[in-house]
Structure formats: C-alpha cells, structure tokens
Amino acid sequence: MIDHLSTYATDFAATREFYDRVLPMLGYERNVDLVATFDPEWPERRICAYGVGAKPTFWVVEVKEVSTPRHVALSAGSEDAVRAFHAAGLAIGAPDHGAPGPRPQYHPGYYGAFLLDPDGNNVEAVFHAHAA
C-alpha cells in the first residue's frame, strides 16, 4: 500500500549513521544520496534513501527545525533480525524504546523492538510469525 515515506533529520550526519547501522539488519541498504540543488530555498539540503535492492523506500531529508516525532515500523524477516536491529542501534548509543520481544496485544506472532533515532522518531523492527 505504501510506496515510500520520509522522515526528517536536524542532524543529518548522525541520522544517516543511525540508519546506516540499523537498516542493514533488516535487509535495507542506502541506495540514494543527493543534494537538493533543485530547491532554490536550500540548494545544499542533503537527502538519502534506503531500500531493498535499487528501489528507494525510506527517505531521510535534512531539515533546519525539529518536526513532530513519528513512528515507522519496518519489516524484519525473522526474530533474529529484530534482535540484530535493536542491538546495532544500542551499540551506537541509540535510545532503547522497547526491547525485542513478543507484543501479543497487537496479534499473536507479533515480535518487535523499538529505538529512537537522533530526532526522537520511534523506529520499530517487526516480524510477524503468524498474523491473526
């Protein structure tokens, strides 16, 4: 249903480093790096994107002011991938926002972990063992 989405970063370098470390655990890689020369108001604005293979799915856009924090849940291929995502984030100092584990309140087989990115966005890795 969703083709792609964006999040925003006031500390672009730190945010890119966060996603560079945690997203490979879920099979994503950074596949776009660009500077918004097309934007006359901020032609040096940095943008990057991540995806599986060549298709960019998750974009990070540099901004000057913090925006309202958001939540994004990214699919994981296994519980091990969820744990690896969480461990990679903790290893670089990302705040824990929910340890890896089952979340039966959502549905049986829901296994997730949560981290906060440098702008306070709630980033989740989730594996659905058997959706209800």
Distance between CA atoms of residues 76 and 68, nearest Å: 25
* The pTM of the whole model exceeds 0.75: yes
The owner of tokens 């000057």 is: 64
For 8-37, how does the pLDDT look when each residue is reduced to its tens digit (9 = 90+)? 999 999 999 999 999 999 999 999 999 999
131 is written with which tokens?
């959706």
CA nearest 123: which of 112, 108, 111? 112
Confidence (pLDDT) at 132: 41
Distance between CA atoms of residues 26 and 105, nearest Å: 23
CATH number of 5-128: 3.10.180.10
Q: Where are the domains of the chain?
A: 5-128
Confidence (pLDDT) at 109: 95
pLDDT string in tens for the chain (132-residue length): 788 999 999 999 999 999 999 999 999 999 999 999 999 999 999 999 999 999 999 999 999 998 889 999 999 999 999 999 999 999 999 999 999 999 999 999 999 999 999 999 999 999 999 754
Confidence (pLDDT) at 130: 75
